[in-house]
Structure 1
Amino acid sequence: MDVKKSSFDTLPFSKLFQHYISGNGTITDFFETHPANKGSVHESVDSFEFKGERSVGASILEKYNHEHLDHEVTRDQIGKVKKHDCLTVVTGQQVTLFGGPLYTVYKTITAILYAKKLEKETGRPVIPIFWLADEDHDIEEVSTINIPGSYDQTEITYSHIDYENAPPASTIQLGDELSTVQKLLKENLDETDFTADLLDQITSYYKSDRTFGGAFGDLLMSYFGKHGLLLAGSLNQTAKSHTTHLLKKAVKLHVNLTSSLDDTTYALKEAGYHDQVQVQPSNLFYLTESGERIKIQCVDDTWSIPSKKWSSSELLDEIDNHPEQFSPNVFLRPILQDCLLPVAAYVGGPGEIAYYAQMKEFYENFGYKMPIIVPRFSLTIFESAIDRILEKLPFEWQKYLDRIEDLEKEFVETTDSVDIEKMFGIWRSQIDELSRAKRDKIGDIDPSLKGSVGKAKATYFSELDKLKGKVYRSVKEQEKVQIDRIKRIKNNLFPNDNLQEREIAFIFFMNKYGNDLWDRVIDKLSDEDPYNHLTLHL
């Protein structure tokens, strides 16, 4: 296994993210601390003040992790959280089917390694925590994984019942549909020395009576619990009762909160960046008794969902009486995290970093300071077979982001002994020149026939283009082996014209390289940082 550094510049990442990675002065103004600035990081840690109750955070962690795979190191880690000087590094995402894409493990590995680094540098206990986004209800996002073949992808999708308003995805029971997606998974994974063990492990966690959240948590802890990872979330009574004051503050200060988000978002756009999340007057959702999660709207101090309306005072009373029925949006969730856990740093992907850029003043409205926002590792995995055929082709690996048609055309142009474009270009020029001369002579005979010369030339050019296409196809057929290699490389490195880390299920690589793959990756990345895109050569 070998790791090489590569620039983000030639890859499809936003300007905002690329400037954040490089420490560009404009974007860093939107954050409290840049993680690459060691002095600022230590200053942030030294001045860190946890405003919550450590016993509450520990209680939530005990409940969450007791429900999942309980390693001996897990209990030790929870014990450390109770200490007055303990810090946490948090990451998280939705509870995707069979663990989700590669970035799931890249986030997790970054949190584990950054926690170790911060602990070593500060001398304080630092715990990596994966926050299960257990209140999110984007069920489409959690329900699909991609398994690559040689030249295309197989999309495995869990089919839900039709929800008028979806519940939190973590609460959905897997039920009978699970057998369908498990069958598809087995059919589409190549059989290797590791397949039987991998499928046994997955089916031991993903059972019809389990939920998306429960199965996802078990799977994640089976691979990373031994590295000290803990799980957390807010869809529980303890979390709700201890964050009631924040939910109420989101109502009381909604004008100020909206204004601060609007102002920061405007400043981002003025600086040439994009806004990741649309700002709305309400940052709350309502959890109905039937389990649905519905966005609360706010217009002129009236709060509503389709079946209910509240004045601000009525809504505050209902939050007091039933905090379990209220849920934070993407802006409010980090505030709840920081209330429940001593979050010194948050590990996020490009999209998360973009919406944190909108939040600096939002934090201040709640009396909090934004934690250190650490970019997750971004990697592209190169299997040895891909490395070998890359050497036989004229393109840098980033070039395979191009359309397959453009890659094939460019390959034919660069490898054929005859310059097809040049040959046909000269041919067209010769015809054009000859046609002009003939047009004048024909015009002398009969001026009304001049237009017919142009039509004849257009017909000739049309036939010439058809012939050129046939020549290209002939060359492509002769170069079929290389063209197939181009398709295979593109499908492996940039499936669906996207980054590999965003598309491919991480269990795909475990099936080929073993259940200990991520242990080896953690060892290999222990001395790396996330400020370059890394290529991992297996």
Structure 2
Amino acid sequence: MNVAHKPLISGQPLAEALIRDFPSVGHLYESNPLDKGEWSKRCMWLDSSEHLRVQRAALVSRLREYNLVHNPNEAVMESLNKLEQPGTTVIVGGQQSGLFSGPLLVIYKAVSIIKAAEHTSTVLGRPVVPVFWIAGEDHDWDEVNHTYLLSSDMQISRIRVLKEEEKRSPVSMTDVNQEDWKTAIDELECLLPDSEFKIGLMEHLRQIAADSSTLSEGFAKLMGTWFGKYGLVLLDSADPYLRKLEVPVFQTIINRNDELEAAYKTAAEDIVRLGGTPQADVADGGANLFYIHEGERLLLFKRDGHFADRKGKISFTKEELLSELTSHPERFSNNVLTRPLMQDSLLPVLGSVLGAGEIAYWGLTRRAFDLLGLKMPILLPRMSFTVVEGTLQKQMEKYKLTWEDVKDRDIFRNKRESWLVAQDKVQLDSRFDEIKSTFGGLYEPLIDELGGIQNGLLKLGNANKDKILDQIEYLRGRAKDALEKANEVGLRHFERIELSLFPQHKPQERVYNVFYYLNRYGMEWIDDLMEIPYDIEGNHRVIYL
């Protein structure tokens, strides 16, 4: 496994500026992640602000119960023992609980969290625990219910789990029955080529599915299988037992809701003044909270002194909402703007590992942190990778393609066409162009002369000329088709290169699932990822296998 730095622009100016030009965005973010002094400063603040967070013992007690069910590794229990001690901090990051773990970027985020925790622990000389925040409270089923693999016939194949109800329920509260699990796993098995690892991989996945009633449970068990031995602690944001611990935070969010809304709006205006676009919706009257009513997750707004959803299914005064929180904390849920506040109120967060889009919307939250007497944690870009297998690398070398060529769609298509033209020994285009030019030079004067005999012959002659030219073009097209057929193997190589590295014109890590690589290389593939040096800047790297 060789690793090379290959720049890949995220398309998120705020995320780029966090690392490349921090002074320009320093008013949106608390700390420069590249400034080592900020790390010690953050630790000192965490030590002095223990009273602002949920009691460690109660938090760790619940995390221990949860991880014993889904992630019962000795290294995880050791991480939790450390977390129970004052002075221990965490590196945290999270993702929705996608089918079979979702896209590769989820794996890279887990690696980033663990490596960042190891790095900062060494630098600071104190324990730092890695925590993965499973966003089980999210309700966007269509975002998590599928995953993609590249099939042997070069189709980007989607495996999906459907649900009968259209209700927008949190993913951790949406049941997946055993028949649906079986169908999805059978599809995965059909798509994966035979390998020495396949039987064991499928048996293990079926066992996980048999013990999982939701995507979140299956996700947690998979992540525990792969990363538990590295001490990665798992937390489900929809855990009803954690909700009980979060009640004081929700109370503050409700009581100071107008102030929080104003803070988010001011931050959005700051971003617009920078020439950017806020990456999360800061709606007028938005409460930035969800309420779960009859299993459906409803976004709350403030209307006429009440907290209500848009469709009017529920409505509470502030006092009623606070009373409901006391009686049923499990019915409350954060949105993307209040989730960072909840995360920091639960955990002693030293740093938060985020994707570029997440860094962008976190730019809306610093004023909210300040309002609640908190400080935004240090933000760390997730490490980013593209995997190039040996066969693919040889094909790229054969056709003189660089990773940069494949990244740029126009350049890649031009390279493909240039290669195909080079295989054309007949020089089809120039020969057909010559024939059309010669034909026109001979035929057009004759048509003019025929028009002198009879006007109708001029019209007939031009129509006849167009038909002949159409036939020449038809033959050109058929000849080109034949040329492509004769060079089908090479063109399929080009197609595989593009589909492997930039499927759907997106970075590989945003589309494909990890099971392809586990099936090909075994569980050691995860261990090899863990050997790649940590990059605090989150620069994109290409892994050559």
Q: 1:532 aligns with which of 511, 526, 539?
A: 539
Q: 1:515 aligns with which of 498, 503, 523?
A: 523
- What is residue 373 of structure 1 aligned with on the other side? 379
> Equivalent residues in 2 for 1:117-516 (5 A)?
117-150=119-152, 151-163=154-166, 165-175=167-177, 176-207=179-210, 210-280=213-283, 281-288=286-293, 290-305=294-309, 306-401=312-407, 402=409, 408-413=416-421, 416=424, 462-463=470-471, 465-516=473-524
Distance 1:460 1:40 in 2: 76
Distance 1:527 1:174 in 2: 36
Which residue type is aligned with residue 287 of structure 1?
I
How far is 1:376 from its partner? 0.9
Are the aligned partners of 1:494 and 1:500 in contact in 2 as well (CA < 8 Å)? Answer: yes
Are the aligned partners of 2:212 and 2:218 in contact in 1 as well (CA < 8 Å)? Answer: no
Are the aligned partners of 1:400 and 1:407 in contact in 2 as well (CA < 8 Å)? Answer: no
Distance 2:535 2:498 in 1: 26
Are the aligned partners of 1:303 and 1:312 in contact in 2 as well (CA < 8 Å)? Answer: yes
Residue 88 of structure 1 pairs with residue 90 of structure 2: yes
Closer, same or farther: CA 455–242 of 1 in aligned 2, 3 Å: same
Which residue type is aligned with residue 385 of structure 1?
T
Distance 2:392 2:438 in 1: 44
Are the aligned partners of 2:22 and 2:32 in contact in 1 as well (CA < 8 Å)? Answer: no
Closer, same or farther: CA 380–187 of 1 in aligned 2, 3 Å: same
Are the aligned partners of 1:383 and 1:537 in contact in 2 as well (CA < 8 Å)? Answer: yes
Q: 2:111 aligns with which of 91, 109, 112?
A: 109
Distance 1:447 1:364 in 2: 86
- What is residue 45 of structure 1 aligned with on the other side? 43
Distance 1:368 1:411 in 2: 59
107-116 vs 374-383, greater mean Cα deviation = 374-383
**Cα deviation code 1:34-90 (max 9, x no counterpart):** 323334344333443442122232123212212223122222111111222111000
- What is residue 31 of structure 2 aligned with on the other side? 33
How far is 1:315 from its partner? 1.9
Distance 2:18 2:445 in 1: 61
260-269 vs 379-388, greater mean Cα deviation = 260-269
Distance 1:448 1:366 in 2: 88
How far is 1:468 from its partner? 4.1
**Cα deviation code 1:364-409 (max 9, x no counterpart):** 2222111111111111111111111111113322433527876643
**Local SS of the residue matching 1:373:** strand
Distance 1:15 1:460 in 2: 55
397-406 vs 37-46, greater mean Cα deviation = 397-406
**Local SS of the residue matching 1:303:** strand
The alignment's TM-score, normalised by the length of structure 1, stands at: 0.89
How far is 1:296 from its partner? 2.0
Distance 2:424 2:351 in 1: 54
Superposed CA RMSD: 3.0
- What is residue 8 of structure 1 aligned with on the other side? 8
**Local SS of the residue matching 1:474:** helix
Distance 2:464 2:23 in 1: 61
Closer, same or farther: CA 373–425 of 1 in aligned 2, 3 Å: farther
Closer, same or farther: CA 213–231 of 1 in aligned 2, 3 Å: same
Which residue type is aligned with residue 107 of structure 1?
K
Distance 1:422 1:26 in 2: 54
Are the aligned partners of 1:394 and 1:411 in contact in 2 as well (CA < 8 Å)? Answer: no
Distance 1:408 1:391 in 2: 14
Which residue type is aligned with residue 374 of structure 1?
L
Are the aligned partners of 2:116 and 2:534 in contact in 1 as well (CA < 8 Å)? Answer: no
